[in-house]
């Protein structure tokens, strides 16, 4: 595997970053996780756009244009001959000194890893997964805004640890008002009486690119969609529940906090959206080879 760091490619063994990089010392940086399907990078423009929005929010100036970033991602896929996989794009504040001050850092570091990811066992995708609600709440907007895909993922990691301690692999995180925000690495959807529901971004959900794609697919299929505030009561009484993310893709949920969701099996609306999602990933995306 060849890893891109600041315009050069390094073998895994030689892809090293300074211990004084503020990405490591303070979680000061941002990232994206992007899927590659059939030699095309799925929603590449959208991911790069979100990366630059995250950068803006943390007052980090990425030392290349969005167009150059898109080309760097494609070049990393080419060098690695990646036809299906997962790209991790990381931008750190850069190498600095001890002490928080971002002004102590030189140029931001850009790292691109073209690899693979499997978040959950295959059977979760066919039979559905069980999840719980955990005590750790989603970051408040006035702390680290949940829309920022920052390198500081401790909020979500703490929730994930709580889920793992309870014997499940994913968790619902509520916001500080008690409304459902999202899961630790996925957005959440409900189906109630054939309508598709997902918490609003203002509830503390990431502006998920798979979330946006699923909303588009539902609207194209004539399924009514809405983004109201959602409580655990709404989740328990949903006909269907599923999660979305670039890494997780679309995964059905059949039990939440010990309550069976719907029939306890992946539902018809989920299956329909999954089919159209697969069709889309086969036929769209930015071609790696032109
Ligand atoms: N919520 C959070 C908190 C996320 O981190 C999503 C939702 C889904 O968004 P997208 O745009 O991917 O549909 C994410 C996605 C990883 C990894 O290891 C990345 C995420 C989640 C889990 C693992 O690369 N980010």
* Residue 237 falls inside a structural domain: yes
269 is written with which tokens? 């609306």
Are 156 and 101 in the same domain?
no
Cα torsion through 230, 31, 39, 42, rounded to 10: 30
Is 149 annotated in the active site?
yes
Are 126 and 193 in the same domain?
yes
Are 130 and 273 in the same domain?
yes
The boundaries of the domain holding residue 134 are 122-281
What does the radius of gyration of the chain's CA atoms come to, in whole angstroms?
A: 19
Nearest CA to ligand 1 atom 4: 185
Instruction: Using alpha carbons, list the distances in angstroms from residue 200 to 1, 34, 175, 208.
Output: 39, 22, 12, 11
pLDDT in tens, 56-94: 999 999 999 999 999 999 999 999 999 999 999 999 999
Low-confidence ranges of the chain (pLDDT < 70): none
CA 194 to chain centre: 26
Contact at 8 Å (CB) between 64 and 70? no
* Residue 26 falls inside a structural domain: yes
Are 106 and 250 in the same domain?
no
Looking at residue 290, its pLDDT comes to 76
Contact at 8 Å (CB) between 262 and 271? no
Of the residues 81, 115, 149, the one at which a domain ends: 115
Looking at residue 56, its pLDDT comes to 98
* Residue 9 falls inside a structural domain: yes
Are 256 and 132 in the same domain?
yes
Are 56 and 193 in the same domain?
no
Are 128 and 271 in the same domain?
yes
User: 88 CB less than 6 Å from ligand 1?
Assistant: yes
Catalytic residue among 149, 160, 192, 271: 149
Are 106 and 130 in the same domain?
no
The pTM assigned to this predicted structure is 0.97
Q: What is the CATH number of the domain that holds 195?
A: 3.20.10.10
Are 108 and 127 in the same domain?
no
Q: Ligand 1 centroid to 246 CA: how many Å? A: 6
Are 89 and 128 in the same domain?
no
* Residue 290 falls inside a structural domain: no
Strands 129-133, 171-174: pairing kind: parallel
**Total number of domains constituting the chain:** 2
* Residue 127 falls inside a structural domain: yes
Nearest CA to ligand 1 atom 16: 33
């Amino acid at each position: 595997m060849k890893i891109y760091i600041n315009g050069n490619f390094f073998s895994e063994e030689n892809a090293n970053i300074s211990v004084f990089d503020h990405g490591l010392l303070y979680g000061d940086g941002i990232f994206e996780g992007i899927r590659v399907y059939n030699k095309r990078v799925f929603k590449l423009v959208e991911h790069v756009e979100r990366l630059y929005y995250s950068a803006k929010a943390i007052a980090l100036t990425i030392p290349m244009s969005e167009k150059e970033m898109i080309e760097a991602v494609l070049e990393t896929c080419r060098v690695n001959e990646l036809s299906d996989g997962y790209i991790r794009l990381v931008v750190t504040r850069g190498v600095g000194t001890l002490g928080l001050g971002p002004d102590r850092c030189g140029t931001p570091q850009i790292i691109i890893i073209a690899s693979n990811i499997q978040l959950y066992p295959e059977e979760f995708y066919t039979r559905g997964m069980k999840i719980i609600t955990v005590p750790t709440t989603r970051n408040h907007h006035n702390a680290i805004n949940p829309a920022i895909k920052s390198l500081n993922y401790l909020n979500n990691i703490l929730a994930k640890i709580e889920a793992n301690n309870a014997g499940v692999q994913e968790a619902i995180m509520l916001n500080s008002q008690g409304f459902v925000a999202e899961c630790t690495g996925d957005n959440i959807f409900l189906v109630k009486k054939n309508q598709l529901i997902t918490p609003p971004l203002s509830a503390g959900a990431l502006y998920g690119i798979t979330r946006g794609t699923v909303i588009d697919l539902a609207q194209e299929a004539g399924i009514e969609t809405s983004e109201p505030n959602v409580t655990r009561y709404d989740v328990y009484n949903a006909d269907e529940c599923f999660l979305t993310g670039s890494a997780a893709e679309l995964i059905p949920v059949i039990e939440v906090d010990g309550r069976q969701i719907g029939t306890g099996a992946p539902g018809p609306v989920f299956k329909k959206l999954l089919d159209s999602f697969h069709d889309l990933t086969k036929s769209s995306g930015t071609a790696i080879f032109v």
